């Protein structure tokens, strides 16, 4: 641990109610889409959590358990709505306990934040008001239904206890049903469950009191709440402090302080533009009014950061949800002082939230093993092979790391003098500072695993044949796309060169292409002093390839800096100081342009692959050069898979 501050706080045990948890690092509930449709766990779900338990996280809060058959916001969700689900979950808790962690079942009802497409019934809510992000209006619950649902929460808690969970977390955050009751944004009732803060919190308070009565004095009850919702008329921190006190008085043992509702989803799972630990002040505010432990949440992606948060007294525990997707072994690595081997969540939200939003099982961009613990064999290979990887971009490096991790003898050949490829430029736009940590990690791992890296090698078929490898992994990447537009090659400069400071850029700039790269480059230039930036995009909208949360922040910054956007506009010609485009059947010209930036995409570089006929070695291609150019997320997965399976 030389040169790094001493970690003591995050490894301190904590007693909540009467249960001792071994440290302060919490895995929050994250919907994985790994469960069976009947609410029971799959092997994938169990292996995924088991890895985190073995990796040293002290408290694992499992994803939202539906308390009734129709409570969930996705189909493959955990459930505790009937007794037959208890036994399969007992298998799960046994495995987590054996692996050294404790586990809390989060219990929830989605209320109006689900749809009949998923549940087969009209959603219910405190009031018949449609969630701004959802397709259909809910119906208002009667008081009898409220009481029935309170009982469903209690029954689910009792099943969790019977299944061996070390407690439950009542999910009162993120705009789900309980949050809908608590918030004046969604609760417009005029009875004893609406109006005042006391009334709006009656539903969760009655649930907590009833669980306490049924499950016993010693059974830990956590409560997750959104301290601020960031919607007009929604919850804000002063009222949240009162709510936390009321929840404590009702019998909760711990407050898990989150924020946001579906309408502010970019707050619930904050992407890279949100500073690390950006919401810790909310936990600190709640801590001033309650005596029970408070958990801080939100982009806590580093053990040093967690230690600092705890040392400051802002919270008693830190949730490190996505940090655990990025590195299931982070606590153990931190304990050993092996900080350079820790993979950091970079806030891309591509693998986790991005996959979930499409209804897919979640993954992680920086850690392709996440969600595949039940599939990939990472044990040492029976017969180590001689493997050559061509290309030192992130896909090639990932392939080399995965292969070397299994004990293969790996040589990495790179034509330039550096590793990282296009990821270097991709790390430069605004609010993507964490992205470069991935290259830093890859370089460390290549060295640690003994991969021989050779720079400035122009690889040909002869080069590879002379090396006599068993297998070659091609990760030769891509080249910028250059459609046949008059003047484009002559007067344009590719975005990657601009981002890397390899081109002079004037004050008046036109960026051709409004995909993620074009928009990020325009935003970057506007932030760095270019006074007049215009994006010209052929499609009717920009950033179609971006994830919703970071795109929200990107567009907000672009608007603040006055970046102009021309959509459904096709560039016809690039001149020395002008760009001619066609929109609505007529042509126009942007004049006095000082720099034209090309961000039209990339084309797979398959030159080497095409030359490799009749070779004696296995050939696998990954990343941009494989089939078609793709984003880094897919390329890294391909690299990892090639390396692990070789």
Instruction: List the catalytic residues.
Output: 176
* Cβ count near 16 (within 10 Å): 22
Structure-block tokens of residue 38: 């009947």
> Judged by CB under 6 A, does residue 300 bind ligand SF4?
no
Candidates 207-215, 343-351, 525-533, 602-610; binding stretch for ligand SF4 (CB under 6 A): 343-351
147: CB partners within 8 A, 6+ apart: none
Is 345 among the residues that bind ligand SF4 (CB under 6 A)? Answer: yes
Q: Could you say whether residue 347 binds ligand SF4 (CB under 6 A)?
A: yes
Smaller CB distance to ligand SF4: residue 345 or 512? 345
Q: Which is nearer to ligand SF4, 194 or 278 (CB)?
A: 278
Among 350, 478, 496, 637, binds ligand SF4 (CB under 6 A): 350
The dihedral through the CA atoms of 375, 376, 381, 383 has a sign that is positive
Residue 344 CB, shortest distance to ligand SF4, in Å, is: 8
Q: Which is nearer to ligand SF4, 401 or 472 (CB)?
A: 401
Q: Is 183 left (phi over 0), alpha (psi -120 to 50) or beta?
A: beta
d(CA 97, CA 75): 27
**Does residue number 351 form part of the binding site for ligand SF4 (CB under 6 A)?**
yes
Cα 605 to Cα 481, 495, 627: the distances in Å are 11, 18, 10
The DSSP string of 46-84 is: HHHHHHHHHTT-SEEEEEEEESSTT--SSSS--B-SSGG
Burial of 37 (0-12, 13-18, 19+ CB in 10 A): exposed
> Concatenated DSSP letters for 116-182?
HHHHSS--EESSS---TTSSS--EEPPHHHHHHHHHHHHHHHHHHHHTT-S-EEEEE-TTSHHHHHH
**Binding to ligand SF4 by residue 66, rule CB under 6 A?**
no
348: contact with ligand SF4 by CB under 6 A: yes
Q: How many beta carbons lie within 10 A of that of residue 515, not counting itself?
A: 19
Give the binding range for ligand SF4 (CB under 6 A) out of 75-83, 341-349, 382-390, 453-461: 341-349
322 interacts with ligand SF4 by CB under 6 A: yes
CA 38 – CA 434 distance, rounded (Å): 38
Indicate the residue among 155 and 327 with the shorter CB distance to ligand SF4. 327
Write down the least CB distance from residue 366 to ligand SF4, Å.
5
Task: Using alpha carbons only, give the angle 339, 342, 344 rounded to the nearest 5 degrees.
Answer: 120
Q: Is 412 in the site for ligand SF4 (CB under 6 A)?
A: no
Output the smallest distance, CB 606 to ligand SF4, in A.
28
- Burial zone of 352 (CB within 10 Å; 0-12 exposed, 13-18 middle, 19+ buried): buried
Minimum gap (Å) between residue 293 Cβ and ligand SF4: 25
Strand ordering across the sheet containing 578-583:
570-575, 578-583, 586-591
The residue within the footprint of ligand SF4, chosen from 73, 352, 439, 505 (CB under 6 A), is 352
- Structure tokens, 294: 């408070």
How many residues bind ligand SF4, per CB under 6 A?
Answer: 14
Q: In this chain, which of 254, 285, 330, 349 binds ligand SF4, going by CB under 6 A?
A: 349
Asked if 534 touches ligand SF4 (CB under 6 A), the answer is no
Residue placing its CB nearer to ligand SF4 in the complex, 10 or 362: 362
Binding status of residue 320 toward ligand SF4 by CB under 6 A: no
CB of 284 to ligand SF4, least distance (A): 24
Nearer to ligand SF4, 368 or 518 (CB): 368
Beta carbon nearer to ligand SF4, 161 or 630? 630
Q: Is 366 in the site for ligand SF4 (CB under 6 A)?
A: yes
325 binds ligand SF4 (CB under 6 A): yes
Measured from the CB of residue 274, what is the shortest distance to ligand SF4 in angstroms? 11
| Helix (H) or strand (E) segment spanning residue 556 | helix 548-560
Q: Yes or no: say if 35 and 80 are a contact pair by the CB < 8 Å rule.
A: no
Residue 364 near ligand SF4 by CB under 6 A: yes
Q: Residue 459: which of 633, 643, 602, 625 has the closest Cα?
A: 625
Among 170, 254, 334, 346, binds ligand SF4 (CB under 6 A): 346
User: 3-class DSSP state for residue 36?
Assistant: coil
Considering the complex, what minimum distance in angstroms separates the CB of residue 537 from ligand SF4? 26
Our CB check for ligand SF4 shows the closer of 491 and 640 to be 640
Residues that bind ligand SF4 (CB under 6 A): 322, 325-326, 345-352, 364-366
């Amino acid at each position: 641990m030389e040169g790094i501050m001493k970690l003591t706080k995050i490894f301190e045990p904590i007693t909540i109610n009467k249960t001792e948890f071994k440290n302060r690092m919490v895995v929050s509930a994250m919907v994985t889409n790994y469960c069976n449709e009947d609410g029971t766990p799959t092997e994938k779900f169990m292996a995924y959590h088991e890895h985190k338990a073995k990796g040293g996280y002290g408290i694992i809060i499992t994803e939202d358990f539906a308390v009734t058959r129709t409570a969930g916001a996705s189909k493959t969700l955990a459930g505790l709505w009937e007794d037959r689900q208890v036994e399969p979950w007992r298998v799960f808790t046994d495995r987590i306990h054996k692996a050294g962690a404790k586990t809390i079942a989060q219990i929830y009802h989605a209320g109006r934040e689900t749809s009949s497409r998923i549940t087969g019934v009209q959603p219910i809510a405190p009031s018949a008001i449609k969630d701004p992000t959802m397709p259909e209006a809910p119906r208002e619950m009667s008081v009898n239904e409220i009481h029935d649902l309170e009982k469903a929460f209690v029954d689910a808690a009792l099943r969790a206890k019977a299944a061996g969970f070390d407690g439950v977390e009542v999910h009162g955050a993120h705009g789900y049903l309980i949050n809908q009751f608590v918030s004046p944004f969604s609760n417009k009732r005029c009875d004893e469950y609406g109006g005042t803060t006391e009334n709006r919190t009656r539903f969760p308070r009655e649930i907590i009191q009833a669980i306490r009565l049924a499950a016993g004095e010693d059974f830990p009850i956590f409560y997750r709440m959104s301290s601020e919702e960031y919607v007009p008329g929604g919850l804000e921190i002063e009222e949240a402090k009162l709510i936390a006190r009321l929840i404590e008085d009702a019998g909760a043992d711990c407050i898990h302080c989150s924020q946001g509702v579906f309408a502010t989803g970019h707050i619930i799972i904050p992407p890279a533009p949100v500073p690390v630990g950006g919401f810790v002040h909310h936990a600190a505010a709640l801590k001033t009014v309650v005596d029970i432990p408070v958990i801080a949440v939100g982009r806590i992606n580093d053990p040093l950061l967690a230690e600092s948060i705890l040392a400051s007294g802002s919270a008693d525990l830190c949730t490190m949800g996505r940090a655990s997707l990025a590195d299931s072994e982070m606590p153990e690595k931190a304990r050993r002082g092996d900080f350079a081997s820790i993979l950091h969540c970079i806030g891309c939200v591509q693998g986790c939230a991005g996959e979930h939003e499409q209804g897919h099982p979640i993954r992680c961009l920086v850690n392709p093993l996440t969600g595949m613990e039940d599939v990939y064999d990472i044990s040492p290979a029976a017969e180590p092979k001689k493997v050559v990887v061509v290309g030192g971009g992130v896909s090639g490096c990932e392939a080399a790391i995965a292969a070397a991790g299994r004990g293969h003898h790996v040589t990495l050949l790179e034509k330039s003098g550096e590793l990282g490829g296009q990821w270097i430029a991709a790390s430069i736009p605004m609010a993507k500072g964490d992205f470069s940590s991935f290259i830093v990690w890859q370089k460390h791992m290549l060295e640690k695993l003994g991969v021989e890296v050779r720079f400035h090698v122009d690889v040909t078929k002869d080069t590879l044949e002379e090396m006599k490898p068993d297998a070659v992994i091609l990760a030769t990447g891509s080249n910028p796309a250059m459609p046949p537009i008059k003047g484009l090659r002559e007067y344009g400069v590719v975005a990657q060169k601009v981002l890397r400071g390899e081109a002079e850029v004037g004050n008046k700039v036109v960026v051709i292409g409004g995909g993620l790269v074009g928009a990020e480059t325009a935003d970057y230039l506007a932030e760095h002093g270019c006074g007049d930036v215009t994006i010209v995009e052929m499609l009717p909208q920009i950033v179609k390839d971006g994830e919703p949360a970071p795109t929200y922040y990107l567009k907000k910054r672009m608007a603040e800096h006055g970046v102009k956007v021309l959509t459904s506009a096709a560039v016809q010609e690039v001149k020395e100081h002008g760009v001619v485009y066609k929109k609505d059947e007529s042509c126009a010209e942007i004049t006095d342009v000082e720099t034209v930036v090309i961000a039209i995409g990339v084309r797979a570089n398959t030159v080497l692959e095409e030359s490799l006929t009749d070779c004696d070695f296995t050939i696998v291609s990954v990343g941009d050069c494989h089939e078609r150019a793709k984003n880094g997320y897919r390329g890294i997965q391909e690299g990892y898979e090639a390396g692990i399976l070789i």
